[in-house]
Structure 1
Amino acid sequence: MTQLQLPDIAAQTQQYTLPLNWVGMCGIALPVQFEGRPAAAKVDAGVSLVDGSSRGIHMSRLYLALESLENQPLTPLAMWQLLNGFLASHEGLSSAAYLRLSFEHLLKKPALISPLAGWKSYAVTVDARIENEMFHVELSVSVPYSSTCPCSAALARQLIQQQFQAHFSEQQIEKTAVRDWLGTAEGIVATPHSQRSNAQIQVRLRNNHPVLPITELIDCIEASLGTAVQTAVKRADEQAFALANGQNLMFCEDAARRLHKALRQIEWSTAFKLRVEHAESLHAHDAVATSQWQWDFNCAV
């Protein structure tokens, strides 16, 4: 039996000649290798369609090319080679190629005091593109932390001062009596409110940087804030966490400024933008602050 040639509708000339900025696929499941461990990624892959007379792109070529990331470390070089493959397979059709990988990055973090440790998961996105013959890579990470309101802390201290004055107004003050009183619920009548907060950071890498410094970026963020959320803890760790919060009182504006200053010190960064969200425990709404450096809004994929 003679095999019939299968129709190729995508090869037919399009009635309306209109180039498209991005054509591709989103949410492709793909295993990747990062820092010596496998990660389950979701991938968006696409190219521009500069030939407006063409009906469409060859999506299967993009899909099959992604296999190259399965068995090698995820690096800027690997993504550059993949994107060049996208363009080679769409010669005459496309002038730009795009890739986005999203996955959870697991890091084992030690407790503050005790020998315990536990795993933390960080949502990570890696954007890579070749556009105008230039290659760019951007890292995005979401980092949770704790924030204690400075205003709430000041109001709580005032109430404790008033309680102290009322309790010790007519008696001679002894050091041991004050110490014991401070350890009671009667003494500490008010506490400041804290909330779980989140920092969303996007950083553009310097060209030719050999690795994806995601762990370094996370460590920088957590160190600048001083109140990273914990995993396994004992009471000594919880007490140390309370101390860290008391020594790092932060409005969302304070957190944004801390992060901006820390990110400016990173040598491999050429631009960044950040957003912090404090999920208020006092209000039903959140407090938010943003900042950026050298960032143009047209650079993101």
Structure 2
Amino acid sequence: MHNRKEITMHLNNTPHKVLPIKEERHKLFGSVEPGPKHKPVEKDKMADLQNQKKDFLFELDAVGITNVKHPIIINSKTQPEQQTSIASFTFTSTIQQSNKGTNMSRFMEQLALYSQQGFQTELSLLKEFTKELAERLGQKDASIELTFPWFYERKGPSSGIAGLNHADLTIKVTYHETTGYQVNVGISVLITTLCPCSKEISEYSAHNQRGNVKVEVSLSDDYDEAIVDWKLALLEAAESNASARLHPILKRPDEKMVTEEAYENPRFVEDMARLVAADLYEMPFVTSFTVTCQNEESIHMHDAIATIHFEK
């Protein structure tokens, strides 16, 4: 047996170290033996600071956990009809003035329960999730918010060659025991805009840019996801009012069509905001909306932006 001093050997002309065992290496870098333990290990005997009842000065609007990454399953009325993605979750509830805090583990217990068969993003299931979360927390309300990328098929306008585009989606469902549910959804999608001013003043050509359209809407109580897919409705409102849509695959005949379409449909950010708002206004299941259009200008150092909020 070798002692624990470093020994250099030569095997196949390669220096070889004999290291201390792992336990001794840990001690070398500061690990110590466990100290005496006197506090209880049974849950019902442990102190529960969060469940103290006193006057804690203020009610809290939202307490919970955020930046929770978890796989989800998305169903759509377009290809791909089912896909997996990763969402970033926020779970919260209000806390009364008499309560010190919440039970953080219960949020993740609820997520784990609903994930046993795959976490579905249907609004009906998210409503059930939120109501049960409030009951699990022993609170009068709860909310769930998730953001995630969603992919959808897009074909070249001439070639018909299909690829996948993507948009970022947001869902927020709030439940209250007296007022029921509030459901808000949103989309952030990239589009092409061609500058009307540039087209008007130039002898030939016009500059264009990539724009971002963000839409947030409140859904009516009678909205039926089985009849209308809100993802497709908001996507169409954003893309159909642009100068042109973006495509994952463009052959030359496709590029010619997209370029000419943009030239035929010039749009300022102000135009985009108003046109998208008009489509949302006509959707019977939308009760209020916010539209923000932002262009990454191609001949300016700044971006252009326009926003509109409307309550029906």
TM range (shorter): 0.7 to 0.9
1:216 pairs with 213, 233, 239, which one? 233
1:118 alignment counterpart: 163
C-alpha separation in 1, matches of 2:240 and 2:52 = 56
C-alpha separation in 1, matches of 2:159 and 2:83 = 27
2:191 alignment counterpart: 145
Unaligned residue ranges in structure 2 (runs of 5+): 1-37, 76-81
1:23 alignment counterpart: 63
Using the TM superposition, give the Cα deviation of residue 249 of structure 1 relative to its aligned residue in structure 2, in angstroms. Answer: 0.5
> Is the alpha carbon distance of 1:73 and 1:126 closer, same or farther for their aligned partners in structure 2, counting shifts above 3 Å?
same
Which amino acid in structure 2 is aligned with residue 291 of structure 1?
I
Which amino acid in structure 2 is aligned with residue 99 of structure 1?
I
Tell me which moved more, 203-212 or 53-62. 203-212
2:126 pairs with 68, 79, 103, which one? 79
> Is the alpha carbon distance of 1:20 and 1:60 closer, same or farther for their aligned partners in structure 2, counting shifts above 3 Å?
same
SS at match of 1:17: coil
Deviations 1:165-213 (CA, angstroms, capped at 9, x unpaired)? xxxxxxxxxxxxxxxxxxxxxxxxx421111011000011111423252
Using the TM superposition, give the Cα deviation of residue 273 of structure 1 relative to its aligned residue in structure 2, in angstroms. Answer: 0.7
2:218 alignment counterpart: 204
1:273 pairs with 290, 293, 303, which one? 290
CA contact (8 A) 2:243 2:267 kept: no
Are residue 243 (structure 1) and residue 290 (structure 2) matched?
A: no
Using the TM superposition, give the Cα deviation of residue 3 of structure 1 relative to its aligned residue in structure 2, in angstroms. Answer: 5.1
Which amino acid in structure 2 is aligned with residue 264 of structure 1?
Y
CA contact (8 A) 1:153 1:192 kept: yes
SS at match of 2:202: helix
1:286 alignment counterpart: 303
CA contact (8 A) 1:278 1:288 kept: yes
Deviations 1:32-79 (CA, angstroms, capped at 9, x unpaired)? 2211222211100010002x2322111111111123443353222211
Using the TM superposition, give the Cα deviation of residue 6 of structure 1 relative to its aligned residue in structure 2, in angstroms. Answer: 2.6
* Paired residues for 1:99-114 under 5 Å: 99-114=144-159
CA contact (8 A) 1:76 1:210 kept: no
C-alpha separation in 1, matches of 2:199 and 2:298 = 13
C-alpha separation in 2, matches of 1:117 and 1:37 = 17
Deviations 1:231-258 (CA, angstroms, capped at 9, x unpaired)? 1010111110111111110111111111
Deviations 1:71-118 (CA, angstroms, capped at 9, x unpaired)? 353222211111111221233xx3221110111001111111112111
Tell me which moved more, 258-267 or 104-113. 258-267
C-alpha separation in 1, matches of 2:222 and 2:68 = 27
* Paired residues for 1:52-63 under 5 Å: 52-63=97-108
SS at match of 1:224: coil
**TM-score where L is the length of structure 1:** 0.81
C-alpha separation in 2, matches of 1:138 and 1:247 = 34
CA contact (8 A) 1:86 1:97 kept: yes
SS at match of 1:272: strand
C-alpha separation in 2, matches of 1:226 and 1:251 = 9
Larger Rg: 2
1:195 alignment counterpart: 209
Unaligned residue ranges in structure 1 (runs of 5+): 158-189, 296-301
* Paired residues for 1:227-266 under 5 Å: 227-266=244-283
C-alpha separation in 2, matches of 1:207 and 1:154 = 46
CA contact (8 A) 2:107 2:133 kept: yes
Deviations 1:134-178 (CA, angstroms, capped at 9, x unpaired)? 201111101111111111111223xxxxxxxxxxxxxxxxxxxxx
Q: Of the two structures, which has the highest relative contact order with CA contacts closer than 8 Å and spacing of 6 or more? A: 1
